[in-house]
Amino acid sequence: MADELDLLRRANPVPSDDGRFHDRPLDQHAERRLNRLLHSGRPRRLRRWALSVGSAAAVGVVVLTVVLSGSATTPAVAEPRPLLLESGSTPVPLDRMAERAAADRSLRLRQGTHVQTWSLGMTSGPGARPPVTLPEERVIRWRADGTHTELVVATDPRHPGRPVITGADPVPRIVEDGHVLSRRTYPPSWSDAPPLATPPHDTTRLRAYLDELDRTGPLGTPELLDGVAELLDNWTLGSRENAALVRLLADAKDLRPAGAVTDRLGRPGQAYVYDDTTHDVRRMLILDPATGAVLGLEDTVTKGDAEVGVRAGDVMSYSAWMR
């Protein structure tokens, strides 16, 4: 438990000097920072603990699939397959992508996000069930008065119109495609700290911004990718911010160009891969070849683990960001 407590202290997801958390429930930013711990560079022991927390939910999902789906419908429960690079495509170096991003002027910065995510629910230990994928779509919009809304629906664009399994409720269940899981309006909130603070559009200050988001040590490549994901879960970047981000990515170690790819929403992209040998995960970042905007981030298992039922090639998580 000491490792987990130390990680939480260093991440500091609920700062003591942030008035948003005094005498009120945590908002979605704090919850998301806690959830981010499950997908960042972390001790192996914490990963085991994190997976065991979802055991009951994942088992319930599998049971409900058998009980409720019947023979007439096939819920979208299988994990997504890893994205495949286009055969014979020429990888575009990040330096060149940074030049393209710097030349673009078509996109404006906007607070809020529109993202589709797939996450793999797993169990471990005796009686473990096969992993299942929980897909959902989230739209966050901010208003001029500082309030914002969050809409979350269960949907899987791989199987439009088919039932979707959700783990968002106390008891996992099957819902119709597009079913609203939650619709919330949050009170006014302003902050000069990331991720609420406006992201800068020069590389040096953007690095400091993402470093403040991470708070777990030096901003290496895995921490940089985690920071990018959290940034895009709160902001839709403009052209200047994209240019600064791609330049920052170009300076990262071990993030290599891999070639052209079509993302899960059918958009053309350029893939950049980081092999996280510490956690046996391959991380693929997908950029728009014209603007440099981040389209998606995929984490794929590179070494199977029989205890939790994952095999090499299983997709642990995927995010697809839209404008």
Rounded alpha-carbon distances, angstroms, from residue 233 to 28, 89, 196, 227: 11, 30, 11, 10
Q: Helix 221-232 vs helix 239-250: angle between axes, to the nearest 10 degrees?
A: 170
The span from the CA of 240 to the CA of 172, in Å, is: 42
pLDDT score recorded for residue 143: 94
Average pLDDT over residues 85-112: 96
pLDDT for 112 beyond 70: yes
Considering 14-23, 108-117, 151-160, 208-217, the range whose residues carry the highest mean pLDDT is: 108-117
What's the rounded mean pLDDT across residues 162-167?
Answer: 84
Take residue 1 and report the two structure tokens written for it. Answer: 């438990």
Q: How far apart are CA 61 and CA 84, in angstroms?
A: 28
Are the CB atoms for 299 and 281 separated by under 8 Å? yes
The residue among 294 and 120 whose pLDDT is bigger is 294
Q: For residue 195, say if its preceding peptide bond is cis, omega within 30 degrees of 0.
A: yes
pLDDT at 191: 87
pLDDT surpasses 70 at 180: yes
Asked whether the beta carbons of 122 and 133 are under 8 A apart, the reply is no
Predicted pLDDT at 30: 54
Give the H or E element holding residue 298. Answer: strand 294-301
Q: How far apart are CA 282 and CA 316, in angstroms?
A: 10
**Alpha carbon of residue 61 to chain centroid:** 21
What does the angle CA 7 – CA 11 – CA 16 come to, to the nearest 5 degrees? 120
How many alpha carbons fall within 13 Å on the CB side of residue 65? 21
What is the C-alpha to C-alpha distance for residues 168 and 154, in angstroms, rounded to an integer? Answer: 9
Chain-wide mean pLDDT for the chain?
80
CA 281 – CA 266 distance, rounded (Å): 24
- Predicted confidence (pLDDT) at residue 243 exceeds the cutoff of 80: yes
**Torsion 263-267-268-273 (CA) sign:** negative
Task: Name residue 281's amino acid.
Answer: V
Q: Which amino acid, one-letter code, is at 203?
A: T
Q: What is the pLDDT of residue 305?
A: 83
pLDDT at 157 over 90: no
Rounded to whole angstroms, the Cα distance separating 76 from 132 reads 9
Q: How far apart are CA 16 and CA 12, in angstroms?
A: 9
Please tell me the predicted confidence (pLDDT) of residue 91.
97
The answer, yes or no, to whether residue 59 has pLDDT greater than 50, is no
pLDDT of residue 55: 34
Report whether pLDDT(227) > 50.
Answer: yes
Question: Percent of the chain beyond pLDDT 90?
Answer: 56
Q: What is the mean pLDDT of residues 66-94?
A: 70
Res. 36: pLDDT tops 90: no
Instruction: State residue 45's pLDDT score.
Output: 28
DSSP code, position 31 = H
